[in-house]
Structure 1
Amino acid sequence: MHIHDLIEDSAALANLCTRLAGSPFVCVDTEFMRENTFWPELCLIQIADHKEAAAVDPLAPGIDLGPLLALLTDNEEVLKVFHAGGQDLEIVYNLTGTTPHPLFDTQIAAMALGQGEQIGYGNLVDAWLGVTVDKGARFTDWSRRPLDQRQIDYAIADVTHLAEIFPKMLNRLKKTGRGQWLDQEMERLADPNNYANDPDHAWKRVRIPGRKPEVLGRLKSLARWREIEAQGKNLPRGRIMKDETLADLAGSPPKKQADLSRVRGLSGAWASNDIGGRLMAALADAGPLPPDEMPSRDDRKPGLGKEGALVADLLKLLLKIRAREIDVAPKLLARSDDLEALAAGRRDGLAILDGWRYDQFGHDALDLVEGRLGFAVMNGKLKMSRIEA
Structure 2
Amino acid sequence: MNIDIKLHKGDLPDDIKLGNVIAVDGEFMGLNVRRDPLCLIQISAGNGDAHIVQLDRSKYNAPNLVKTFSDQSITKIFHFGRADMAHIKYYLKADTNNVWDTKIASKLARSYSDSHSLKTLIKEFINIDISKNFQSSDFGGELTPAQLKYCANDVIYLHKIHDELMKILVREKREELYKDCLKFLKTRVKLDLALFKDDIWSH
The C-alpha deviation readout for 1:130-167, integer Å capped at 9, x for no partner, is 1111122122111122x111110111111002122122
- Counterpart position of 1:49: 45
CA displacement at 1:35 relative to structure 2: 7.4
Change over 3 Å in CA distance of 1:171–1:42 after alignment to 2: same
Higher-strand-fraction structure: 2
- Counterpart position of 2:62: 65
Q: Is the 8 A contact 2:10 2:62 kept in 1?
A: no
Matched, 1:132 2:135: no
Q: How many residues align?
A: 198
- Counterpart position of 1:92: 88
CA displacement at 1:85 relative to structure 2: 1.7
CA displacement at 1:36 relative to structure 2: 8.8
Take 1:84 and 1:171, find their aligned partners in 2: how far apart are those partners?
19
Which has the greater radius of gyration?
1
Identity of aligned residues (%): 20
Matched, 1:77 2:78: no
CA displacement at 1:5 relative to structure 2: 2.1
Higher-helix-fraction structure: 1
**Greater RCO structure (CA 8 Å; 6+ sep):** 2
User: Equivalent of 1:102, from 95, 98, 101?
Assistant: 98
Take 1:9 and 1:154, find their aligned partners in 2: how far apart are those partners?
20
Take 2:106 and 2:174, find their aligned partners in 1: how far apart are those partners?
11
Give TM-score, length-normalised by structure 2.
0.82
CA displacement at 1:172 relative to structure 2: 3.3
User: What SS is found at the alignment partner of 1:152?
Assistant: helix
- Counterpart position of 1:8: 9
CA displacement at 1:96 relative to structure 2: 4.5
Take 2:65 and 2:96, find their aligned partners in 1: how far apart are those partners?
11
Matched, 1:155 2:151: yes
Q: Is the 8 A contact 2:22 2:45 kept in 1?
A: yes
- Superposition pairs for residues 143-182 of structure 1, below 5 Å? 143-145=140-142, 147-182=143-178
Q: Residue type matched to 2:13 in 1?
A: L
Take 2:60 and 2:37, find their aligned partners in 1: how far apart are those partners?
16
Return 5+ residue gaps in structure 1 as ranges. 207-299, 301-334, 338-389
Return 5+ residue gaps in structure 2 as ranges. none
Give TM-score, length-normalised by structure 1.
0.45
User: What SS is found at the alignment partner of 1:44?
Assistant: strand
User: What SS is found at the alignment partner of 2:178?
Assistant: helix
